[in-house]
Structures are given as C-alpha cells and as structure tokens.
C-alpha cells in the first residue's frame, strides 16, 4: 500500500471513530443531564485525558440491557483506530522478503499490519455501531435537529 492510500485510510478511520466517540458523549450527557450540556461536554468529556475506555465503561453502566455484541464491536473499532493512530511507517520500518518497507504488527512482530483489511473491517462494523449508539441516544430522549 502506498503512503497516500494509507493516509486516506488513516484519516477515514480516525475521523469516523471521533464521530463515534461524540455519540458516546451525547449518550452520557443525555443520561445525566437530559440534554447535550456543552460545558460538560467540552470541559469534561472532550478533554484529551477522558479516555475512550472510561466512556465505554460508563455506557455499559448507564444503558439497561446493553447489546454486548455491539460493545464488542465498539471495542474492535477502537483497536483498529489505535492501529491507524499509533502504528506508522515513519516510526517502525522493516523489510519484508520482497525488500519492501512494512509496518510491523505490535501484537505479532513476525508479520506486517494489513491496513487495507483493517480499513475494510472498520467500515463494515462502524455503520451498525453508529446506528445502535444513535438509537440508544434517542431511547434516552435525545433528539437530533437540523437547526
């Protein structure tokens, strides 16, 4: 995969996951404040140290009868997002048997990361998770408007 294609995939995954995290934030705000309270969102949930893992745990606590399959898919999306965000050719390089540069998989340094298949997997899972999270937001009384 060339650098331009990897950059495109990286941007798509990270931007889409950012939107998924915003859905988590909306659910948390809706649960506790019955609206998207911007001061809480910007000062607390949007803080760079307020981790995805903590947001996911809060989601698991506040949503009755949570779909555990969707939570597993959400976790998988985060794992894929982390590959795109933290593994890069400019930091970790090696040579495969063809003499081409590769990015090693941190979970198995004997092989390269297949970013193309990770991108495909992410795109296949994301829509269903987004739909589930948005439905959860609406079930809590959240309303989307086009003002």
Predicted local distance difference test score (pLDDT) of residue 89: 54
- 27 or 112, which is more confident: 27
Question: In this predicted model, what pLDDT tens digit does every residue of 63-104 receive, in sequence order?
Answer: 999 999 999 999 999 999 999 998 875 444 555 555 566 777
Predicted local distance difference test score (pLDDT) of residue 91: 41
The domain segmentation of the chain, as residue ranges, is 3-139
Query: Rounded to an integer, what distance in angstroms lies between the CA atom of residue 116 and that of residue 86?
Result: 16
pTM of the model: 0.87
Q: Mention every residue, 6+ apart, whose C-beta is less than 8 A from residue 93.
A: 101, 102, 103
Question: In this predicted model, what pLDDT tens digit does every residue of 107-116 receive, in sequence order?
Answer: 887 788 899 9
Query: Rounded to an integer, what distance in angstroms lies between the CA atom of residue 126 and that of residue 129?
Result: 5
Predicted local distance difference test score (pLDDT) of residue 1: 72
Predicted local distance difference test score (pLDDT) of residue 111: 82
DSSP letter at 143 equals: -
Helix (H, G, I), strand (E, B) or coil at 108: strand
């Amino acid at each position: 995969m060339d650098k331009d294609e990897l950059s495109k995939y990286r941007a798509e995954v990270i931007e889409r996951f950012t939107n998924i995290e915003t859905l988590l934030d909306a659910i948390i705000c809706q649960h506790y404040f019955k609206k998207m309270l911007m001061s809480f969102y910007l000062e607390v949930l949007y803080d760079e140290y307020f981790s995805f893992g903590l947001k996911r745990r809060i989601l698991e606590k506040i949503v009755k009868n949570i779909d555990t399959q969707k939570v597993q898919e959400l976790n998988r999306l985060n794992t894929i997002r982390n590959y795109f965000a933290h593994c890069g050719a400019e930091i970790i390089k090696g040579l495969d048997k063809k003499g081409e540069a590769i990015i090693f998989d941190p979970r198995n340094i004997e092989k390269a990361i297949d970013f193309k298949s990770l991108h495909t997997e992410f795109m296949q899972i994301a829509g269903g998770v987004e739909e589930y999270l948005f439905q959860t937001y609406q079930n809590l009384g959240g309303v989307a408007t086009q003002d």
